[in-house]
Amino acid sequence: MKTSMMTMTSADILYFPKSEPLPAEIENFVADITESLGRMLKDIPYRELIQRVSGHEGTVPSELSGSEPISVIPGRQKAICTTYTLAIASESAAKRTFGFSNVMREVRSTLIDCERITRAVVLLTDVWSPRLIDEHLRDIRAHERQGRFVVPHLVAGQRIIRLNWPRD
């Protein structure tokens, strides 16, 4: 019985493959935006960064995005579909707009609504726990299989640390 269960588990990998490395252009974008956000965090606390970045009309300020528009989740209004999106969550806002689960539901909606346009979402959060993440893993994996990625980052003081989604 144990052997057949192990075989069955191994076969399941076909349905939930490990994610591929990010394409180079997405990797470069992720590095650029997190570097820019990191510079901002040296001068202001995360709460203020959230207000500053989300206070624009659904896109990030030009000093973060260069010439390419980038949508922000959550934004003050439904933004246009863009190649890249910045999603910002905060532990102190657990039941509000910036709460992790609320933000991830908006990420899911954006990736569905903008499936032919959005290629990556940079997730910036100050909370990372299995209890919160489990609800969203199937969505994350489904989008990965379609070539759309959510790249998580943890804000710890003035640092931004790149994370990986747990493996099945």
pTM, 2 dp: 0.81
The answer to whether residue 58 is domain-embedded is yes
- What is the C-alpha to C-alpha distance for residues 60 and 53, in angstroms, rounded to an integer? 6
Give per-residue pLDDT as tens, 99-143: 999 999 999 999 999 999 999 999 999 999 888 899 899 999 999
The answer to whether residue 62 sits within a structural domain is yes
pLDDT of residue 41: 93
**Measured distance CA(99)–CA(61) in Å, rounded:** 22
Determine the structural domain holding residue 63 and report its residue range. 20-154
In a domain, 61, yes or no: yes
Residue 1 domain-assigned (yes or no): no
Eight-state DSSP code of residue 162: E
- 124 occurs within a structural domain: yes
Domain total in the chain: 1
In a domain, 105, yes or no: yes
Angle at 114 between CA 86 and CA 111, to 5 degrees: 60
* Rounded-to-integer distance, Cα 159 and Cα 39, Å: 9
pLDDT score, position 56: 57
